[in-house]
Structure 1
Amino acid sequence: MGVIVTAGVGGWSLVRPDPEERTITVGTTDGIASLDPAGAYDAGSWRLFSNVYQSLMTFTPGNAEPVPDAADQCRFADSELTVYRCTLRPGLEFTDGSALTAEDVKHSFDRILKIDHPEGPAKLFDTLGEVRIDGNAVEFRLKTSDAAFPYKIAGGAGSIVDSRRYPADDLLQDDRAIGSGPYTLDGYEPGRVARLAPNGGYAGVLEELPTHRVEIRYYAKPEDLSEAWRKREIEVNAGHMPPAETAAISPSDQGIRLHDQPGHETRALAFNLRPASATSGRAVRQAVASLVNRTAIARHVHQRTVEPLYSLIPQGVNGHAAVFHERYGEPDAGRAAQLLERGGAETPVRFEIAYSAEQRAAAEEAGTLKDQLESSGLFEVTVREYAPDAFREGMAKGAFDAYLVDRFRDYPDPDAYTAPLVGTDGVHSTGYGDAKVDRMIGDTRRGYDRSAVLERFREIHRRVAVDVPLLPLWQDKAYVLSTDDIAGAQYLTDNSGVWRLWELDRL
């Protein structure tokens, strides 16, 4: 933290800068679904949570393994990986001064499961059976082995809330979020701005507390964020601008710093496998997989701001393998025709691709998919945009034949792109279920050494590439822009999904 040296009567003195003068403005297009961890399972909310709330475990820069934060230590207490035990750090407090106890940790997880909010993270804890308290320790009793459980509680879903403020059976009814993270939420205007102030009472993994305030400004459209950046209304740009504008930015541009890395957002084309759907036949889905040109989508729709993806497990996560490219290769209309013929499908196959109005570049992407499929003469495709709520409702009810779905990295383990997506009753409501896949998922969760089960994950995804309930399309690149007087933007985010606003500083 910098100081200002002043001279006066009696000698020199050190004056610490006023935190108000050190406010750093950050812009993003990732909005907040809820300030309550029991009601949010989206990137924007979880990014805020990693600053306002604490979890028992967290991820530090460059470390793919979770480390203790609110916990003093955590470990599996049995060889079957069904009992996970954490001991809290002493002296933890919420920002209102009340003590953070083991009872608060239990309350936080119990309410997620009890509320079971459709937009919340309850599905993430499908293996959690019971939370017990033993003095200053918390014990998670799991229904089945789950080696990925430490990763799950290190993200936004593991946020610890105050049992006196957050109801056991309902979401928080106001905007006064109380946590114990590096920042306190000092002001919030839904859809517009969140104001954060340093939490001097934070006790956790960080060796240095933040010294600056942060104002996060939310923009509904990429064009709005782009305009704010051009006008320098924000100093850090951590959202999505229109692809052409992002592609035009160069690290050599004067007055800015540009940082990019493999992102944690992926997009796939999901299929409805229910009997009434036009995409219920495996041959139809395999034919689509044989025709889609991901490179064209990445280049022409997204202007190379995304990378073609041939696996549900993206690059940067252990277990990634281009299994869809191994099976289907480059687009081939002849192979697609043979697949449909062998499957007894009448051509042209007619179906609809649905997408949400809030998905970036989805209209152009769906149109490109339509053109690619129809150019083979094997398909007739319609595309339709739905309002976000109507899209989520239609997906849940199985109302669409095919639909674009996004996935952000909730924890950096291959299980995050396996069990929730292709396990029975997956989050995208495809209707897919395969007993062998479920058994193999169970096998991966019994392996505490994650490197030892990577081939098992690849086996699962090779089998999924045959069934094609989901067709991966692309993985984004994470771009963070800042003015050249802001340091630390390169540490803002990484593969963990943690948003480290405390790493930002003014030069």
Structure 2
Amino acid sequence: MNRKTLVLPAVAGLLAPLLAACGGSEESGAIVVGTTDQFIATADAPAPLDPAFAYDTGAWNILRQTVQTLMHVPRDGGEPVPEAAQSCGFSDKASESYRCKLRSGLTFADGTAITAEDVKYSIERVLKIKSDNGTAALLANIDTVETKGTDEIVFHLKTPDATFPYKLSTPVAGILSKDKYEAGKLRDGFDVDGSGPYTMKVEREGDKATRFVFSKNPSYKGDITLRNDKVELRPYADADAMGKALESDDIDMMARSLSRQQIKDLTETPKDGIEVVEVPGLEIRYLGFNTKAPAVQEKAVRKAMAAVVDRGALVNLVYGPTAEPLYSLIPSSITGHATPFFDEYGEPDATRAAKLLKDAGVKTPVKVTLNYTTDHYGSETAQEFEALKKQLVASGLFDATVKGAEWSTFRTAQKRGDYAVYGLGWFPDFPDPDNYIAPFLDSDNFLNTPYVNKVVRDQLIPRSRRQADRTAASPVYNQIQKIVAEDVPVLPLWQGKQYVAARDDLNGVEYALNTSSDLLLWELGRGTA
């Protein structure tokens, strides 16, 4: 994406500040949370908060506060439970027909009644728009949506899918009003309208959103209990700036993402009035490959990189105890986790990598550029990619360079196929092994990758979804992971832990960020209770 601002007739109105008073937490009375996520509307991606397009953690953290879904995952994890729905469940043993009944009296924040037709409209809108961001893939298994009266919806699936309740808990399945969201067109800008626990106002500077204010929605009816009336979310350029805001009491909590040094400092030498909390996390980082790019089109090149990269050294140098090496797309603590990349390649071995390249007739050193985003995953990313470059160059088999770009540019270029090798992170849409496989390997996937394995896509993924008992699907996931380690369309690097830091007069902090890195702002409250 380029950094041009929108050139649409409504731009002036969209970019004007909407808030009259914008002081700190004392002035507004709101709980203030900092984030390093950036929110930018560009000519290439003018609708960053439309549920039919949004597919990154930052955008979803806005939508989860404002747009209601039929289901949601409880704060303690586990299987999804009804949210906008009164009840939901499969109506057949084959897990191909899923029926939901809406709560009575549901309305959008503007008072308009919500019916089953609104749910049908919202789901079909996502599938009709089918943005190139990969969002629609979560709902792609829906064949038809049927309404029965004003409050019942039946989803008829193309193939059995035990993970479908999880997918209905994600913002892509958010319930929208046809008066605010056109059927075949994304909604530009940062405005969001829904029936979630909060309403929202936003401040803008140019093409950036600089502050989100969430106020308790008096019309909200659902499964969530709010412990506050107002929360502000403020983006910061980096973790250092966010940390200074916490120390000066401009914000009450900093969430995504603290730097390694901040975590170390706050843990070893605590500051008065500030507490750091480790919360469970399921983030992974990996290298992705455009398997049609000349530099890495030959599978032996990708396998050689897998044989050379030293995950342990990388983690120790850059992330320390906040991360651990990962040898699979599926992280530890998730059903189906295995270590196929360690099983296949073992410890880093330049001699084996050299043989792989020689046997394939690949001349060395192989010239590759490692592309990464400078402003999306934290300040350590640049250091991580310099370390990766040094490992590859030290093998004598690669001539590697590093190139960084802002997320607004990086993501568009990556989807377009401009990068042969690129670094990305993944925060799960829901805590199930399917969500570490399908977004990378299924059709219409998040990566927009040219890599296709028909066995994985047409046989193994559908087979895994038939298992209502997710542990029973582990053998299938083991097969998939072995194929990934053999073909190397992606190269897993590490999985991370999560930390938040907050003023000590804030409670609910341990629940405010779940394993999928979803901000649950309604869990925060003042005082010691």
Indicate whether the TM-score tops 0.5: yes
5 Å-filtered alignment, 1:386-401, equals 386-401=405-420
Provide Cα deviations, 1:405-441, integer angstroms capped at 9, x if missing partner: 2222111111111112123553223321112212111
Which residue of structure 1 lines up, in the alignment, with residue 298 of structure 2? 281
Shift of 1:21: 6.6
CA distance in 2, matches of 1:358, 1:430: 23
CA distance in 2, matches of 1:77, 1:460: 30
Which residue of structure 1 lines up, in the alignment, with residue 23 of structure 2? none
Alpha carbons 1:57, 1:68 under 8 Å: kept: yes
AA partner of residue 372 (structure 1): Q
Which residue of structure 2 lines up, in the alignment, with residue 467 of structure 1? 487
Shift of 1:241: 3.3
1:67 to 81, 91, 111: 81
Verify: 1:94 aligned to 2:112, yes or no. no
Verify: 1:334 aligned to 2:351, yes or no. yes
AA partner of residue 297 (structure 2): S
Shift of 1:473: 0.9
SS at match of 2:172: helix
Verify: 1:264 aligned to 2:285, yes or no. no
CA distance in 1, matches of 2:320, 2:251: 24
Which residue of structure 2 lines up, in the alignment, with residue 233 of structure 1? 250
Which residue of structure 2 lines up, in the alignment, with residue 7 of structure 1? none
1:442 to 462, 485, 488: 462
Shift of 1:70: 0.6
SS at match of 2:246: helix
AA partner of residue 403 (structure 2): R
Shift of 1:162: 1.8
Alpha carbons 1:52, 1:179 under 8 Å: kept: yes
Shift of 1:447: 1.5
1:255–1:20 distance in 2 versus 1, CA, 3 Å? closer
Verify: 1:407 aligned to 2:426, yes or no. yes
AA partner of residue 385 (structure 2): A
AA partner of residue 336 (structure 2): G
Shift of 1:134: 0.9
Shift of 1:186: 4.0
Which residue of structure 2 lines up, in the alignment, with residue 6 of structure 1? none
AA partner of residue 320 (structure 1): H
5 Å-filtered alignment, 1:115-134, equals 115-119=129-133, 121-134=135-148
CA distance in 2, matches of 1:87, 1:430: 37
2:400 to 375, 381, 388: 381
5 Å-filtered alignment, 1:4-403, equals 22-32=29-39, 34-119=48-133, 121-135=135-149, 136-173=151-188, 175-189=190-204, 190-206=208-224, 208-250=225-267, 253=270, 254-274=272-292, 276-359=293-376, 360=378, 361-403=380-422
AA partner of residue 226 (structure 1): G
Which residue of structure 2 lines up, in the alignment, with residue 13 of structure 1? none
AA partner of residue 402 (structure 1): V
AA partner of residue 98 (structure 2): Y
CA distance in 2, matches of 1:328, 1:262: 29
Q: Which runs of 5+ in 2 are unaligned?
A: 1-25, 41-47
Shift of 1:123: 2.2
Bigger mean CA deviation after superposition, 464-473 or 401-410:
401-410
Provide Cα deviations, 1:343-362, integer angstroms capped at 9, x if missing partner: 33222222221222334333
Bigger mean CA deviation after superposition, 353-362 or 288-297:
353-362
CA distance in 2, matches of 1:352, 1:496: 30
Shift of 1:387: 4.1
CA distance in 1, matches of 2:332, 2:32: 30
Taking structure 2 as the reference length, the TM-score comes to: 0.87
The alignment-based identity, stated in percent, is 40
Provide Cα deviations, 1:181-236, integer angstroms capped at 9, x if missing partner: 22121444452111111123221113x43333111111132232122223221111
CA distance in 2, matches of 1:497, 1:88: 27
CA distance in 2, matches of 1:111, 1:174: 18
Alpha carbons 2:291, 2:450 under 8 Å: kept: yes
Q: How many residues align?
A: 487
Bigger mean CA deviation after superposition, 386-395 or 134-143:
386-395
Which residue of structure 2 lines up, in the alignment, with residue 457 of structure 1? 477
1:356–1:205 distance in 2 versus 1, CA, 3 Å? same
Alpha carbons 1:426, 1:432 under 8 Å: kept: no
AA partner of residue 233 (structure 2): I
Shift of 1:175: 4.5
AA partner of residue 197 (structure 1): S
Q: Which runs of 5+ in 1 are unaligned?
A: 1-18
Bigger mean CA deviation after superposition, 96-105 or 425-434:
425-434
Which residue of structure 1 lines up, in the alignment, with residue 21 of structure 2? none
Alpha carbons 1:20, 1:213 under 8 Å: kept: no
Taking structure 1 as the reference length, the TM-score comes to: 0.91
Which residue of structure 2 lines up, in the alignment, with residue 15 of structure 1? none
SS at match of 1:204: coil
CA distance in 1, matches of 2:202, 2:300: 53
Alpha carbons 2:97, 2:154 under 8 Å: kept: yes
Shift of 1:82: 2.1
Shift of 1:20: 7.9
CA distance in 1, matches of 2:362, 2:210: 50
CA distance in 1, matches of 2:334, 2:166: 13
CA distance in 2, matches of 1:295, 1:182: 43
Which residue of structure 2 lines up, in the alignment, with residue 8 of structure 1? none
CA distance in 1, matches of 2:60, 2:277: 21
1:115–1:105 distance in 2 versus 1, CA, 3 Å? same
Which residue of structure 2 lines up, in the alignment, with residue 494 of structure 1? 514
SS at match of 2:485: helix
Provide Cα deviations, 1:1-31, integer angstroms capped at 9, x if missing partner: xxxxxxxxxxxxxxxxxx9874111101123
AA partner of residue 153 (structure 2): V
Bigger mean CA deviation after superposition, 286-295 or 157-166:
157-166
Which residue of structure 1 lines up, in the alignment, with residue 6 of structure 2? none
